[in-house]
Amino acid sequence: MSERDHPTSADSDAAERSPRSSKSRIAIEFALLFAVALVLKQFLPSGNGAPYPNPLWLPVIVLSLEHGLATGLAATIIASGLHFSGGLPPMQMTEDIYAYISRIAAEPVSWACVALLIGHIRSQQIVQVTRLQADLAERNAQCAAVADLCVDLRDRADLLERHIAANALASNVDIAEAMRELNDATWDSFAERLTRFVTLMTGTAEFSVYLLRDDVLRVVFQPNDEHTAAGDVTIAPDDPLFGAVVKERRILSAMRAADRLLLGERGVLAGPLADNHAPNRVIGMFAIGGGALADHPEDIERRFSLTLSEIARVLGRIILIENWHAAAAPGQSNGHDADEREAKTPQAPKRAAARPGGGKPRPDEMTLQ
């Protein structure tokens, strides 16, 4: 339930003040209208033969039109009291008791009839308006509830679409083709094919490959960043995540509370990358992101383990890319430094043979073998 559904103290105070303010406003209207009527009565001739109506008609009609039956009757009583405040008019010699009563009661009775007629119609209108306002408030509340449900339904539909897409099992042919293409990838196509393989296996294209360099896990590959080899993202040896992956060789999942604390904002699954020649030696880490695990396939942990094994097989190519970026970075400002660093790498003789004169090969001339 949203905050707007809960009445606040300010709303309660406003609700309590509303009847009081309405009564105060009606009292002020009574006082003003009767004051005007009494002032007019002092300047206008009165009596049955007067050319002007009694000024006390003003508050009776106005208050009945504005506030309804009860207020109109109250105005009639006050007007009658003011009308006879100076005493009853004298009885004429030609009048009997019935004629006298009809003469002096004509105006008060007329005020009461007008108040009953106009006030009843106005009271019905006020009741109808109040009911319509209540219906409108109810419809607005229903519309707000429907709008909230639509938002929740849209979010749920988006989640289900992602869940269905993630659980749509890729065929064995697609996975085999992706693995073959990854093994045959060249320098230009390696990143794209690695991303496609990881997406088919895990349902997400958000992943990071870390390498263990100088006892620090350093990001060397991300699908949308070709220059992550600079090592801006690192995991230090004193980080609990480092110990869990490198030392304990654990696969961490955000489904487990303890692992979720270790992962933090660095993914939903993480696992060690082992050296192909020494399976007991961890040389890196692989982590995937992509929101909650509900967005990934149901057997994501099994798929993640298979992805770890395949990435460990092509880790040498990722290292080659990382070395190339590391060597090319200083070469932008000083070509001699880049050549000296390239000459120190184990692949230098092989690369030197790729071009006449022993120069460093360009990326488009390299094939990841």
Q: Are residues 187 and 285 in the same domain?
A: yes
The pLDDT value given to residue 133 = 94
pLDDT at 145: 94
- Residues 177, 118 within the same domain: no
What pLDDT was estimated at residue 184?
Answer: 83
Please determine, for residue 91, whether its predicted confidence score (pLDDT) is greater than 60: yes
Q: What is the mean pLDDT of residues 202-220?
A: 86
**Please, which pLDDT band fits residue 111 given cuts at 50, 70 and 90?**
confident
| b/e burial code for range 213-234 (CB count within 10 A of at least 16 → b) | beeebbbbbbbeeeebbebeee
Please write the tens of the pLDDT for every residue from 139-192.
999 999 999 999 989 888 877 776 665 555 556 677 778 888 888 888 788 888
Torsion of CA 250, 253, 256, 261, to 10 degrees: 90
Residue that is written with structure tokens 């220059």 in the block = 227
Residues 102 and 222 occupy one common structural domain: no
Considering the domain architecture, whether residues 145 and 183 belong to the same structural domain is answered as no
Which of 45-49, 235-239, 301-305 shows the lowest mean pLDDT across its residues? Answer: 45-49
pLDDT of residue 193: 87
Q: Which residue has the higher pLDDT, 149 or 106?
A: 149
Q: Rounded to two decimals, what is the model's pTM?
A: 0.45
pLDDT tens digit sequence for 3-43: 444 444 445 555 555 667 788 888 888 889 888 888 887 77
Same domain, 116 and 202: no
Mean pLDDT along residues 232-245:
87
Where among 305, 322, 339 does a domain terminate? 322
DSSP 252: E
Q: Poorest-confidence range of 103-107, 113-117, 141-145, 318-322?
A: 318-322
Burial of residue 284, with CB atoms counted within 10 A of its CB: 0-12 exposed, 13-18 middle, 19 or more buried: buried
Domain that holds residue 287: 172-322
Instruction: Tell which of 98, 123, 153 closes a domain.
Output: 153
Q: What is the CATH number of the domain that holds 287?
A: 3.30.450.40
Say whether 38 sits in a helix, a strand or coil: helix
Same domain, 140 and 105: yes
Residues 234 and 294 in one domain: yes
Query: What mean pLDDT is reported for the chain?
Result: 76
268 lies in the same domain as 179:
yes
Is 48 inside a domain boundary?
A: yes
Q: What is the pLDDT of residue 362?
A: 44
Residues 101 and 204 in one domain: no
Is 99 inside any structural domain? Answer: yes
Residue 124 lies in a domain: yes
**Do 18 and 107 share a domain, yes or no?**
yes
In-domain check, residue 346 = no
Over the stretch 292-351, which tens digit does the pLDDT of each residue have? 666 666 678 888 888 888 888 888 888 877 777 666 655 444 444 444 444 444 443 333
Where does a domain end: 299, 322, 345? 322
Place of tokens 């070509």: 335
Asked if residue 236 is part of any domain, the answer here is yes
Same-domain check for residues 137 and 179: no
* Residue 122, pLDDT above cutoff 80: yes
- The reply to whether 193 and 149 lie within a common domain is no
Mean pLDDT over residues 279-298, rounded?
78
Calculate what percentage of the chain has a pLDDT beyond 90: 10
- Domain assignment present for 6: no
Domain count across the chain: 2
Q: Is residue 143 part of a domain?
A: yes
Does the residue 271 lie in any domain? Answer: yes
More confident residue, 167 or 285: 285
Q: In what order do the strands lie in the sheet with 252-253?
A: 234-235, 216-221, 207-213, 282-288, 269-274, 252-253
Model confidence at 47: pLDDT above 50 = yes
Contact criterion met (CB below 8 Å) for 175 and 303: no
- Largest Cα–Cα distance of the chain, in whole Å? 146
pLDDT category of residue 353 using cuts at 50, 70 and 90: very low
